[in-house]
Structure formats: structure tokens, C-alpha cells
Amino acid sequence: MSKESVIDIKKGNIYGRGKEEIVILKGEYLHEDSNYIERATIVIKDENNNIEEYPLKLNGYNIKIFLGKFSSDNSDDIYIYGELDDSYRYVAALIYKYDNGKIIEIFNSEDFLENNKSVSKYLDGYRIEVACQSYEKKYILDITNIDKHYLRQIYNRDGNVKIKENPSISYINKIDLVYDLEEELINLLVCQKIMGINNSNVFGEINSLISLKNNESRVLNKYITNSGENISIMNRENNIKEEILSQLPDDTTLINLSKFGGSNELINEDIDGDGNNEIICGYKSENTQYISVFREVEGRVELLDTIEGEGYDISDLVITKLKPKSNNNILIGWRIASIWSVLDIVEFKENKFNKLLRGDKIKYSKVEIVEFDDKRSGISDIVLWSHETGEAYKVQIYSFRGDNLEKTSKYDRDYFEKVEDYYKKLINRTRETPQYLYYLIDAEYRSGKKREAIANINKALKHPKPYPSIEELKRLKKRIN
């Protein structure tokens, strides 16, 4: 006979009161040497040991819980996930929001599959069509490069389909959590395999990016990948992409630039001000990142210039005017660590890249491009947020002065009200640590709210462990006064 056991325990702000509750996952193991759990139950215990218990609609292997902000920044939601089979091939997940004595289901992986069905079929010419029905889009996947022996089972010598079966779309094989820095919420990246005659023949994946903001499950984006490469609808853009690839090294892997406003992994925009669009392409070769610019001339795609980057991914790519007496500039963030990027700014002139930054490399965690109200030239400025501790960032505004990018405090009063609001919300949803209070003080001071900054310095000085130090707080107080 199975016996109820404690499976997992986490702490979080479930009730939204700014305090931590204990969330306990209980269940019954099928037998002693199995990881399969039945009759799973969630128990929530508050600081007074009051207990609420909720049975779950989930059985499976290796069930765990995670607490995080999926629907709003007021409280933590309860994310429960596990595997459906002992080969760990397919997964299932539930997310609950606590609301006044009950937990409301805001995501169910089975409901997602039912409401977001996709179908696929082989096409002549070694291609697969994938139709995402609810998303109302069709994608074409090129499978020319898969195992030739396997292709011969599907196609005849002329490349025409010879079998009646179609590829299948798997159950969910992976769910990744993706943090949205702008919304400060966690999104879901749900992955499904596109499979052939048997489970070992995997052509690609359907990836669905899902937001649960305001308790509403909404698909933000859906795309098809093959070895990490985005596949878009077949049109002239695909032919252009093939022409671009033919001019790049054989080991090239394209970096998807669609998330920066492009399409089909490329960006098509006029970056030198001549009235004709250029094509921007990002790619990796021999573990090095590059960005190249192409132009379509009389039906041919020509490579114009290439710059070498750093790190392992591109975190940011913004095309805007940053430097006076310049056309559009390209701001690039080269991802060098999970929360760190290196800044690059280039202009494209006379078919050549020109790097605008000199001296030491500037590292940052996130970037915002802002055009402040007093400017009439259409030139934007750069705001860099650099991680310091926990969820705290050092914030600095940069402007071009002549040919040099320099720090400026000219627009602090305009911008730092936003930074102040960030720290007030952060303290409200977590707790008032000495570190977060210090960064709030700095934001209040730089936004011109000296009275509020002095009041918080006095509060910080009374803390058993003032941050960064009593001396620094007193120096700041003297400077404000």
C-alpha cells in the first residue's frame, strides 16, 4: 500500500502580503523504487502555521514545485511540473494563482495542447509544412540536410513524396522559463517535437512563447526551429537567406534577428540613409559571432561588410540615431554571460562598418533607448542598467558628445523617477533590504526628491547592517543637504 510523502518544499510570497509562506508538495509514490507520484497535493502554511490544502490534477514522475511571478508582480504563483513517462521524454505542468482561500488554475499543459493544435505534412522537394491552427500560420521546414537513408524512405529520386504517412507533432517535450525584463514576469517557452516515421527521427521543434500576465494565457510568439535555427514562411525572403548563407562559411549558424524587429531571421532596413534598404545578418562561425550587411542589387544579394563580435549570443540590436551628424546607428549587445552583455555601437557608411566606441569595453545587463523631451534633433540617448546585487542595478545615462560616448547626468531628473518607481515596486513585492533601500535613496536623490532621500537615509542609518556603510550614507546625506 502506498504512503503519503513530502515530495518538495518551497518558500514564497503566495498570499501577496509581503511575507513568506511555506508551500509543500505531498504525494504517494507508486512503490518504493519508483519516482512516479499519485494523488499529489499542495499544502500552504503561513507564519502562524495556518494550513490550506489543495488536491492536484497531476500524476507523473519527478514532480517538483517552483514559485515565481508569472501573472503579476504582487505575489508568487505556484508552478508544478513533472514527466509523464519514465524515459523523461514528455512533460506536464500546472500553474496556480492563490486568490482569497482558493487556488485558480492559470495554465494547464494539456489544455494548452488541446487549444493549440498543429498538423504537418511532407511536401515535395524535401520540405515539411507545419500548420499552427489556432495561431493561423503555416511554416515550411527544409529537411534537405537530414540523413539521406531516411530521406529515401520518404521521397523518390525526383524528390517527390512517396509515402502516405505525415510527420507527427509530439506531446510537450520541454518547458523553459523565460524572464521578461520589461514586464518583470516569467513567461513559458513550450516545446514540441516534429517527428518522422519513428521517435528517433526528429526534424525540428515548435516553440510557443506564452505569457500568463493578468491570469490570461496568451501566445506571444510561435516559431519553428531546426538545430536552433528559426524557420519562417516560404517566400522571397527564404531565397535571399539561401543566397546569404551561400556567401558565409560552411559551418555558419544564423542568429535569429527576428526578435529585434526583423523577419525570417534577418533585418531589412535603410541604415546608411541612401533611401535603399540593407539586409543585416547575424551568424556564428567557429564559435565566433559576426554581423554582416548585404544589399540586393538587380536580383542578386551582395555582401558589403562584416564585423566580429564577442560572447555567445546577441542580446540587443537597435537601429536608431545616436550620434549627431550621423545617419542611423546600430547598437549591439554581445551576450557574454547570463546577465551581462558588452556594448558595441557602429555606423554603416560608404558600404563599410565603423565602430564608434573607443577605450574600455562597457558591460551592462539591460539597455533602454530614450529620446528626452528637450531634444529636437531626433537623436536618442542610451540608458544602461548594470547588475549589482540581488535585483538591484546601477543605472547610467550615456550621450554622444562629438565622436565620444560619455556619461551624462543632464537627464537624471527626467529618467530616475522611473528608477525610483522600480525600487518601490521591488521593495513592495520582496522586502526592504538595506541594499534596495540604498538604491531607492540614490534614485530619489537623482530624480530631485531630496526630502524623501534624506528621510530614507535616516531610516537606513538605524538599520543593524547599513548599506553600503554608515560613512557612505553620511557622505551622501551631506552631499544632498
pLDDT digits (tens, 9 = 90+) for 173-221: 889 888 887 788 999 999 998 888 766 678 888 889 999 999 999 888 8
Q: Which residue has 529620446 as its cell numbers? A: 371
Residues 376 and 277 in one domain: yes
The CATH number for 374's domain is: 2.40.128
DSSP bridge partners of 313: 335
Domain boundary among 52, 74, 99: 99
Asked whether the CA dihedral 389, 71, 316, 369 is positive or negative, the reply is negative
Residue after which a domain boundary falls, among 64, 99, 134: 99
Mark whether 71 and 147 lie in a shared domain: no
Residue 111 inside a domain? The answer is: no
Q: Flag whether 239 is in a domain.
A: no
pLDDT for residue 292: 96
Tell me the one-letter amino acid at 64.
K
Whether 88 and 155 map to the same domain: the answer is no
Q: Which three cell numbers stand for residue 225?
A: 526551429
Same domain membership, residue 299 and residue 349: yes
Q: Which of 207, 225, 73, 77 is nearest to 141 (CA)?
A: 225
Residue 107: inside a domain:
no
205 and 256 co-located in one domain: no
List alpha helices for 8-143, DSSP H. Answer: 109-115
Cα-to-chain-centroid distance, residue 221: 12
In terms of domains, do 223 and 191 share one?
A: yes
pTM score of the predicted model: 0.54
| Same domain flag for 36 and 84 | yes
How high is the pLDDT of residue 83? 83
d(CA 389, CA 436): 9
Count helices and strands (H / E) in the chain.
7, 30
- Confirm whether 404 is domain-assigned: no
Same domain, 167 and 270: no
Residue 109 domain-assigned (yes or no): no
3-state secondary structure of 470: helix
Give the number of other CB atoms < 10 A from CB of residue 185. Answer: 20
Query: What is the total count of domains within the chain?
Result: 4
| Average pLDDT of span 328-350 | 94
Return the higher-pLDDT residue of 15 and 89: 15
The 10s digit of each residue's pLDDT in 61-92 is 888 899 999 998 889 999 998 887 655 568 88
Are both 290 and 364 inside the same structural domain? yes
pLDDT at site 85: 66
Residue 93 falls inside a structural domain: yes
Could you give the CA distance from residue 290 to residue 343 in angstroms, rounded to a whole number?
A: 14
In a domain, 303, yes or no: yes
User: Is residue 108 assigned to a domain?
Assistant: no
Domain around 47: 4-99
Whether 120 and 183 share a structural domain = yes
Q: Do 90 and 139 fall into the same domain?
A: no
Using CB atoms within 10 A of its CB, is residue 435 exposed (0-12), middle (13-18) or buried (19+)? middle
Q: Are residues 122 and 69 part of one domain?
A: no
204, 231, 258 — which closes off a domain?
Answer: 231
Per-residue model confidence (pLDDT) at position 135: 67
CB burial string 235-269: b at 16+ within 10 A, e below: eebeebbebbeeebeeebebbbbeebebebbbbbe
Which has the closest alpha carbon to 144: 75, 242, 36?
242
Whether the CA torsion 373, 374, 378, 381 is positive or negative: it is negative
How far is residue 454's CA from residue 451's CA, in Å, rounded to a whole number? 5
